[in-house]
Structure 1
């Protein structure tokens, strides 16, 4: 049974109904054309005979009908003269039945008398039966054609679904340990966008699985090391009695290690919160007003660290539909890193501007810069002499991927420091621009 929700069912029904309608219309036109052609041939012949006879016959009796035989008439045509009190003296045709016979008569006025007509009658029973046979044959051909179209529609729909079934089988055989891109070279052109979309999804899944594995391994390593150090210090401290200062030193070292582990656990929990934020309903915001509001808070944070933040926005209004929480997370990470690595009295510049294809937000610091050969977005990777869990940029990268945006970090080309950039593509973010005059 074909489901009513199936595209294949709808395709078959639409193809069969449209084809059947065209066949019926064409057959009706064909039958009417054949019928008209046959009757026009008979009618034309009767007109010719009536025109010849009309010129030769002069009625001798003006009150009675009478039949006659004329040498030009074939045997199947009967002729007679009738008197009818008609005002309209035009040639008329009349088809009528007599018993089992079908007859066609033509009434030709005889100009020698105002009420006289010569009537030629031809039996068309066989012609009528022939037309009925033609109609039955056309109906049988129509039914056969509709069944053939139905079978063709079933075959064609099955053939069109083959690429989808192949893709479905490949996807069902995949798991996180066996992810292979779909070979788009073997797909029909109509399925190329689907194949490419699946491959992009597979790439994202592979990246996600890779980072998750790195995260789990890194988490275990980062927590195991301080625990082992704490255990060793405690064991050494307990080997023999010591001064109270040594115990206090050991406890303070343990508290510091515990604080570092708590910070790491907090960062790991932040990953869970960020994944939950990916399900946040996108909402429209004015990105310019949003940046101005956030920078006010960032300035307070930078002032506490003895640093300054300046804002350079080159557009007055820019509306975007996005997930606000993820966007805040990216910007907050950029600014916190810039504050961390900038020197005292350093200036952090936040810029925002449009290009034909994207809206850019950059955060520039005056620190030592970065090593561009390193993967800065890998989890638990720390660079420089500053502390941290090494998960900030990893989380920012995940948030950007969820938004369909891209982030990039590079050294400033003209001066010391690094520049972190966020690119929001217009075609992916459903951006609606509005200019203030």
Structure 2
């Protein structure tokens, strides 16, 4: 496989394009100069022929007047040509000398013409000098073009080489941002994108390491409790109730570990879901079905779930598994932390071409100083592995969505979870929205 150098391609194309331009310009200049000189000579011959004709017509022809014309190095004669009716020019070479000839009508009825022949060796010599100078200038220009092409190529490609060298030396243990100060402004968007990607990689690597360490710690603790409890129980003979108590504790710890292992497995499945084919769906109707599902989950706590949409339809092309992972984690937390007989509001808004989904509960609220999207971060007394919001954040990053979790600011207690689908390559508005009036489902 042949690998082409962008540096080589750039300077080769620059040399070829500029060389063709110089050569074309040189030939155009030479052709224009030659045409100008020849036009001047022809105009001079035409004026001479016109003077001869006027002298002959006015009967003022004298030897002195005639010599004014002939002494300028031209040959004048009267010739008869049957098939000619207008002025005619001809240039030719004879005995290594160059001439231009004009035939000027003198007596059209008798087919007589004034024939003037002028030697133009001096003009040809001047054109040859001009041509040689143009060739020398073209060669000099081509040499400068080659040097210019190499210099410009290196100058323009230096930012690319700088970015390439920076990226080639990076790994998960050495991630640094690209300094934009030394880059042309045209490369700033690229540097910003790379720096954002670097930040995401750093966050991902940090979370992964934290996930593995946290998983080991979270699994080690219940195992240690089970081991200690079993050892204490077996130290002496006990009543059956004590053994049952120990077994129940073991089962509870095993269930908690199963939940955690299931969450870790979900992280692995989520990475595969990132390659899921996007599906076209109506977000309004999709959320209507989901709201009904969540109402069944919240029925036990008598929690009222309302769903509002600011539009009748909003068609999108999106990966439903990733979107559902975010939605499910937010709704499960809302139901889990919302007290009995309280309510949860789901609102779908359209902002320009973006879809914004807001879930507002009446729960205990959160500690906004905590990074709840980090693995194994928990708030409140409810049980859980602490990986739900971590999964939601990973799904949002893969989906190109922005998710936030804030306390309510309307004076009531509770949490506001927001999903904003923006800059999403899978998101597109496929139909005109019928109305902006809010619809309750």
TM-score (norm 1): 0.88
Aligned in 2, Cα 1:213/1:85: closer, same or farther, shift over 3 Å?
A: closer
Shift in alpha-carbon separation, 1:221–1:74, aligned structure 2, 3 A: same
In 1: Cα distance, 2:42 partner to 2:305 partner: 101
The Cα shift of 1:351 comes to 1.2
The aligned counterpart of 2:345 is 349
Q: Does 1:93 align with 2:89?
A: yes
Say if 2:294 is the partner of 1:295: no
Where does residue 49 of structure 1 map in the other structure?
48
Residue in structure 1 matched with residue 411 of structure 2 by the alignment: 414
Q: Deviations over 1:210-267 (max 9, x none)?
A: 2112111111111111111111111111212222221221122111111111111111
Which structure ranks higher in relative contact order (CA pairs < 8 Å, sequence separation ≥ 6)?
2
Structure 1 Cα separation of the partners of residues 3 and 140 of structure 2? 25
Any idea what SS the aligned residue of 1:72 has?
helix
Deviation of 1:76 (Å): 6.6
- Which is worse superposed, 33-42 or 143-152? 143-152
Tell me the residue number matched to 1:65. none
Aligned to 1:52, the other structure's residue is in SS state helix
Alignment of 1:307-322 (within 5 A): 307-322=303-318
Partner secondary structure for residue 292 of structure 1: helix
Q: How does 1:89-168 map to 2 (within 5 A)?
A: 89-111=85-107, 114-168=110-164
CA distance in 2, matches of 1:219, 1:91: 103
Cα 1:195–1:128 change in 2 (3 A) is same
TM-score of the two chains, using structure 2 as the length reference: 0.88
Query: Any conservation in 2 of the 1:286–1:320 contact (CA below 8 Å)?
Result: yes
Q: Provide Cα deviations, 1:25-53, integer angstroms capped at 9, x if missing partner.
A: 43233222211222233223333333333
> Which residue of 428, 432, 435 corresponds with 2:433?
435
Secondary structure in 1 matching 2:167: helix
Find the aligned partners of 2:253 and 2:386 in 1 and give their Cα distance.
16
CA distance in 1, matches of 2:91, 2:274: 81
- 1:237 touches 1:250 (CA, 8 Å); kept in 2? yes
SS at match of 2:126: helix
Q: CA deviation at 1:320?
A: 2.4
Partner of 2:422: 425
Q: Which range moves more in the overlay, 38-47 or 203-212?
A: 38-47
Quick check: 1:28 aligned with 2:24?
no
- Farther-moved stretch of structure 1 (221-230 vs 86-95): 86-95
Q: CA RMSD in A?
A: 2.7
Structure 2: how far apart are the matches of 1:32 and 1:99? 25
Aligned twin of 1:62: none
Query: Unaligned regions of 5+ residues in structure 1, if any?
Result: 59-67
> Is 1:193 aligned to 2:189, yes or no?
yes
Tell me how far apart the structure 2 counterparts of residues 113 and 278 of structure 1 sit (CA, whole Å). 96
Residues of 2 paired with 1:36 and 1:133: CA distance? 15
SS at match of 1:86: coil
Contact between 1:404 and 1:424, CA under 8 Å: does it hold in 2? yes
Q: How many residues align?
A: 426
CA deviation after TM superposition for structure 1 residue 4, in Å: 8.1
The answer as to 2:76 corresponding to 1:77 is no
Q: Determine which of 206, 223, 226 is the counterpart of 2:219.
A: 223
Question: Comparing 155-164 with 69-78, which one deviates more in the overlay?
Answer: 69-78
Deviation at 1:321, TM superposition (A): 2.8
